[in-house]
Each structure stands twice: as structure tokens, then as C-alpha cells.
Amino acid sequence: MRKIFVSGCYDIIHAGHIQFFREARALGDFLTVCFASAEVLWIHKHRKSSLPDEHKRALLANLRCVDEVVVGEGLDEGIDFREHFLRIRPAVLAVTEDDKYGPLKRALCAEVGAEYVVLPKTPPEFPPISTTEIVRYIRAPQEAPLRVDFAGGWLDVPKFAREGAYVVNCAISPTVSLRAWPYERNAGLGGSGAWALLNGKNGVDAELDLGVGWQDPAVIAETGLCVWRSGARPVLELKHNADFLRGRMALFWTGQSHHTPGVVAKLRDYDGISAAGRMARDAVWASDLTGLARAVDGSYQVQIGEAMEALPDGGAGVLARKYCGGGFGGYALYLCESAVVRDRLCSQPGFRAIEPYVQSGM
């Protein structure tokens, strides 16, 4: 009988593990799978096991390609299975190409004359996923807000960041989910950041990888009305419950989709953006709707200077307006002096009411 041995944490069993077990089993006649005990997982991975050891053992033992299951309880990192390995004396220790403990395992194989076999990467039968990604997906929220930005946009893009400048934005409701998205797509409301959060991804890294800024995932995860310091990564200066904005905000759909990466390189007035960001920051500290409206208007004047089309003024009682995100389409934000004005505005085609979104507990 040609015995095959594999080891790993196998904390959350997924299709990639099953494929590996099948390929390892094909090397011989009898497959032993060793998984790290809850104690070993805690010591070396610094996390709790997803299941009690006896449940994990039963799960693995009932896989058709697995003949035997043992629990690694040794405290030597990477070879917690040493005692079982020396007892079983398998013909092969099979590992994946990304095995981090090759030298230790090769030395252990030499003690019993076992072959150390690195299984080549074969086309995955399912999209690859890691235990870490599964945990993030489980922990991901069921719903998330989108966001509107008042001032300081582009100063969250690392190459445009300015010392002493600010980015001011607010999470909004209605919220979105993987099943319900009550807004237009590609709309300048930070949808890609929300989508990343709902799928358990690191939204900040995802946005920076696209060459745009971090403000969308930062405020969507934080919620509330936020003041951020301009820089390479988000640094929160102030989170406000945004009560003074309730009943005062509306969105207008311009009828054109929006694509931030496509306008990153445009020439723009960064001095004007910084001035508006500073004004918005001071207004949030003072809970000053009028001051925030002046900052929004300052942002809008910068956008008009970039040759964006003028937005409808909205009529009496509308304090300010601006394109959301990078502009040139998508939604536009309107600030109103009262809920009555906002309701009147939202009776017109293309307008809809939104409210600040703050996670409970603030």
C-alpha cells in the first residue's frame, strides 16, 4: 500500500481543498489528512478555529477521497504533524506550490525515506478562494450605504494629496445590498467601495489599485458625516452624526454614467479644491449647514472650471449643488435650507431624497 500524507490548517473546508485532496490521493492508495488542532491554530495563526476539532475531524473523514484523519498537536510551526508522520511512515508527503515550510518538511521526509512531492498548480475547478477570504465574506455586512462628497475630492488620491488639506463626505441611505441596488450604476456615489465591502474585500486597497482615491470605502465602512485628512491612506479627524443634514439632501440623476478612473488625469484647480475642503471641515465642526453649502458651492465652481455642464439650480431654497465623485455625469448632490424645500425639489423628475447614514451605537 502506497500511503500519502497531507497537512494543513483546513480551518474552513472549501472546493480548493477537495481538489488538492483528490490530486494527492491519486499519487497512491491511502490518503491521510492531518489538520492543525484548535490549540495549534491559536498559537501559530492567532485565530480561533471555525469548528471544534471533533467536528472538523468528522467532516474530513466523510470525504470520499480521504482514508484517515489525524489531528496535528505538535507545537513546532509548520510540522505540527511530526509525531503522526513518524508513526505512519508514509511514502509521500504532498504539498502545494506555495508551501512555506519546505526545508522542515524535506528534513522530516528524510527521516523515514518519504518522497516530498510538490503538486503542480492545475486549472482550478472553481474560482480560487482562501480561508481568509471566506472569513471576510462571512463577516461582511448584509447591506451598506453609498456616499456623497461635499469637498476635497481628489485629495484622497495619493499622488494629489496635500498636507493640511481635508476630504469631507457622508454615508447615505437608502442602503444597498448584493440583491438590491436602488440607485443607477456608475453614478459617482462610491458604488465600487460598497460592492467591495459587501463581498468581504478591503475596499481601500481595491480603490487604490484602480488608481483612484480611498474616500469611498473609508466613509462607507465608517458611516456618518466624516472629515478626513488628505494623505496616502485614510486618517479620520472627525465623525459627526449629521443631524443638521437630515431632511436637507437630495440627489439628481444627470442621465449620464460616471467613470472616475477616466477623469483622474484631467487638469483641475487643486487650490480651489483645498480651500473648499477646509471650509467644509470647519462647517462640520460647527454643525453649520450654511457654511457647508458654501463649501459645496466652492467645489461646484471648480467642477464648472473643468468644463462640466451646469446643473439645474433647483429653485428657491436650494443652498448649493455639485456633481458627486469625479463628475462629468452620474448623480449630483443638492443641499436645501429645509425639509419643505427638499420635498418640493424631489417632486420634480430626476430628483430623489437621501438621508445621512450612521451605524447604530454612535
In this predicted structure, the answer to whether residue 153 has a pLDDT above a threshold of 60 is yes
User: In this predicted model, what pLDDT tens digit does every residue of 71-92 receive, in sequence order?
Assistant: 999 988 889 999 999 999 999 9
pLDDT-derived band at 260, boundaries 50, 70, 90: confident
Cβ count within 10 A of residue 339: 12
Pairing of strands 3-8, 92-95: parallel
Q: State the Cα angle at 25 between 6 and 29, rounded to 5°.
A: 110
With helix as H, strand as E and coil as C, how does 285-331 read?
HCCCHHHHHHHHHHHHHHHHHCCCCCCCCCCCCEEEEEECCCCCCCE
pLDDT value of position 331: 98
pLDDT value of position 304: 97
* Location of each CATH 3.40.50.620 domain in the chain: 3-136
In this predicted structure, the answer to whether residue 204 has a pLDDT above a threshold of 80 is no
* Location of each CATH 3.30.230.120 domain in the chain: 140-356
pTM: 0.72
Average pLDDT, the chain: 92
CATH no. for 140-356: 3.30.230.120
User: In this predicted model, what pLDDT tens digit does every residue of 245-259 receive, in sequence order?
Assistant: 999 999 999 999 987
In this predicted structure, the answer to whether residue 238 has a pLDDT above a threshold of 60 is yes
In this predicted structure, the answer to whether residue 228 has a pLDDT above a threshold of 60 is yes
> CA 263 to CA 307: how far, in whole Å?
12
pLDDT value of position 211: 62
In this predicted structure, the answer to whether residue 296 has a pLDDT above a threshold of 60 is yes
Quick one: CATH architecture of 3-136? 3-Layer(aba) Sandwich (3.40)
pLDDT-derived band at 348, boundaries 50, 70, 90: very high
